Chain A
Amino acid sequence: NAGVMQNPRHLVRRRGQEARLRCSPMKGHSHVYWYRQLPEEGLKFMVYLQKENIIDESGMPKERFSAEFPKEGPSILRIQQVVRGDSAAYFCASSPSTDTQYFGPGTRLTVL
């Protein structure tokens, strides 16, 4: 049973480009959470999704950021027109219910 998969592990973008981060939850898990960790800071919650639904996006910036978890395929965190302040590690976690979350290895985004 593979763990939570995230790709790419490292992503480099220039200012103004789009970044797409993918998260494949563990088999049988229908709940996905996205977190951001800025340098020297702890985890910051961004968004909580279930299949085809956004449940809680209270931690998501109002502009440029969006997330989806389609019926088929991985969850996608999209950042449009990236800025240097978006440079961070982005972690995805999945859960079979609202119980314990299993975290992926993260995607390190660097904006030049």
Chain B
Amino acid sequence: KNQVEQSPQSLIILEGKNCTLQCNYTVSPFSNLRWYKQDTGRGPVSLTIMTFSENTKSNGRYTATLDADTKQSSLHITASQLSDSASYICVVSRTGGDDMRFGAGTRLTVKP
């Protein structure tokens, strides 16, 4: 069973709308959690990285939250743009940073 579960698997929204992607994990001991954006056919680009003590981190229109107690993270995208269409991958690292567990990703499509 994958230790990082993402939902939904895919999502379609209209341009300008907000959306929230979810990531639940069972990885332990926890080191950090990253959200990546990956455009079709391209390598992933890191959006945020959060450690145990951080609850919220923003990067432009992207805001990630982390609840280390419930082992849940979310990525909120505000005022979506067509260029936000991509896969969003949640990656959780164990202590030491070398041992990573990847979620399967959420495929977001933003339509005009």
Contacts and interface: CB of A to CB of B under 8 A. Distances in A.
B98 interface: yes
B77 interface: no
A40 B93 CA distance: 11
A42 B48 CA distance: 10
A33 B43 contact: yes
B97 to A, nearest CB: 6
Interface centre among B38, B43, B87, B107 (most CB of A within 10 A): B43
Interface in B27-67: 34, 36, 38, 40-44, 46, 49
A100 B9 contact: yes
B104 interface: yes
B105 A44 contact: no
Contacts of A37: 98, 100
A39 interface: yes
Interface residues on chain A, size class: 20 to 34
B23 interface: no
A39 B97 contact: yes
A59 B43 contact: yes
Interface of A: 33, 35, 37, 39-40, 42-46, 48, 55-56, 59, 89, 91, 93, 98-103, 106, 108
Given A42-B49, A43-B36, 11 more contacts: A37-B100, A43-B44, A43-B91, A46-B43, A48-B41, A48-B42, A55-B41, A91-B100, A99-B40, A100-B87, A101-B87
Interface of B: 9, 34, 36, 38, 40-44, 46, 49, 87, 89, 91, 97-98, 100, 102, 104-105, 107
